Amino acid sequence: MTSALYIERRMRAHPDCFQFRSNDAGKSDAWKHFSLIYEKNDDELLELKYFCACNGCRKVYVYRAQDGSSYGTKNLQDHVRHCTKDKIPKVQMTLGQCVRQVPKIAKPDAARIKLQEVKYCADGYHAFQSVERDGLRGLLQTFVDTGAKYGQLEVSDILAGRKAVSRETAKVAAMVKETVQQRLKEPIEDGTVHYVWTCILMITGKSRT
């Protein structure tokens, strides 16, 4: 049975597959802040009956029972009073908002982050140096950026597993191989590949053997 939480997760994972429309039949003021949810199915838009989403944070609620009887809008009104994203004024951003700022993180939160870094190193037998590498930091920054775009996320819902990562690695390796072959095709044909190979050795810092 479809639940509000299940729909939220699908909306975060596949945002382009959903559209939102105002409930023109809704009489409560709460409907100024909520929209009906439609999911793309091939060339059709199918309404997810009796579910609605907050226009600000996309939190999903059930507003009717399966038999069509109304649940009322009290839960929607309660959400509107506490939803900060729905209350953000629609004004032009200032220059200060566009510039990256280093946040002042509370000491308990900073300590929690450091503890998680310790667990990461201990659980996977990773060197302490690994927390400073671009690969890990790039991954974490991607999650921060994605969360800023879609709201609070469950990492387990969007983090790829080892098989998916393995397949993606093979795909990237094949693309790199094809690119290198294309780049070397002309030098090989005109006999200047020796020069290209010398450049590669110089870039990598390896001596010729």
pTM, entire model? 0.41
15 with 158: CB under 8 angstroms? Answer: no
Q: How many domains does the chain have?
A: 3
Amino acid at 89: P
64 with 71: CB under 8 angstroms? Answer: yes
Q: Over the stretch 120-140, which tens digit does the pLDDT of each residue have?
A: 899 888 899 998 998 888 888
Whether residue 85 is found in the same domain as residue 145: no
Q: Over the stretch 26-67, which tens digit does the pLDDT of each residue have?
A: 888 889 999 999 998 877 889 998 999 999 999 999 988 877
Question: Could you give the CA distance from residue 39 to residue 21 in angstroms, rounded to a whole number?
Answer: 11
Whether residue 124 is found in the same domain as residue 61: no
Structural domain including 115 reads 106-158
pLDDT for residue 31? 92
Q: Over the stretch 151-179, which tens digit does the pLDDT of each residue have?
A: 777 888 888 888 888 988 888 888 888 87
Percent of residues, the chain, with pLDDT higher than 90: 18
Q: What burial letters (b/e) apply to 45-71, b meaning 16+ CB within 10 Å?
A: eeebebbbbbbbbbbbbbbeeeeeeee
SS3 assignment, position 15: helix
Whether residue 10 is found in the same domain as residue 86: yes
Residue 96 belongs to a domain: no
